[in-house]
Amino acid sequence: MATLSTSAWVLHELGLAAGFGGPLFGRLALRQAVKDIHSEAERGKVLADAWQRYNLVNAISLGTAAATWFIGRTVISGRSIDRETRDLVRLKDILLGATLATSVASMMGGQQMREEAPDGGAPLLKEDEAPGPRWPARATARQRLLGVMGPLNIALTAGVIGVTTVLAMKSGRSAKWSLLSRLLP
């Protein structure tokens, strides 16, 4: 068994898992839990603090997933895979790039909101709440943008995981890949 390749694959999978699980938890559980906090500013502060703590984990996780994928791709020539697999590899490249872009945009947007807020947490709109006159227009626009980036990031990461699974299944059925993988470190 190729120890280095196997270790890279495990790190890749763990990176994708953390990059998917954290935002999914934030969207489905954390965001819903803070709705019980009546103060708008306090809701925003709790979320900002939680995301501030998770951003490092998310950056390392997705960075590791991307690094292992893109480094691994340089080792294998396109001649060793069929056209369908090449198309899946390109699709994964695009999805992973978009996942990284939406993650960085979300992290930067959240950090900017945190820095603009006087107490470190911008007021958080509830789903059915309209912004009032006390809300800065930039904070409202940024919050709406983050409201789109979060679900988009989750969907993109799910797409990367799905394509990764299909590629793994295809590699298990490929005699060429089976032979080539024995030569990997």
User: Given a cut of 80, is residue 81 above it in pLDDT?
Assistant: no
Nearest to 21 by CA among 61, 72, 67: 61
Q: What percent of the chain has pLDDT over 70?
A: 78
Q: What is the pLDDT of residue 32?
A: 87
Over residues 69-78, the pLDDT tens digits come to 999 888 766 6
Q: What is the pLDDT of residue 120?
A: 59
Q: Which residues contact 70 (CB under 8 A, 6 or more apart)?
A: none
Least reliable range by pLDDT among 47-56, 79-88, 154-163: 79-88
Name the band, by pLDDT with cuts 50, 70 and 90, for residue 179.
Answer: very low
Q: Average pLDDT of 37-59?
A: 87
Q: Average pLDDT of 147-160?
A: 95
| 3-state SS string for 122-135 | CCCCCCCCCCCCCC
Least reliable range by pLDDT among 19-23, 38-42, 59-63, 64-68: 38-42
pTM of structure: 0.83
Output the average pLDDT for the chain.
Answer: 82
Other CB atoms closer than 10 Å to residue 16's CB: what's the count? 24
User: Given a cut of 60, is residue 180 above it in pLDDT?
Assistant: no
Handedness of CA 121, 122, 123, 127 (dihedral sign): negative
User: Given a cut of 60, is residue 174 above it in pLDDT?
Assistant: no
DSSP 8-state assignment for residue 34? G
Name the band, by pLDDT with cuts 50, 70 and 90, for residue 42.
Answer: confident
**Dihedral pair phi/psi, residue 134, rounded to 5°:** -80, -10
Report which residue type is found at 29.
A
Report which residue type is found at 171.
S
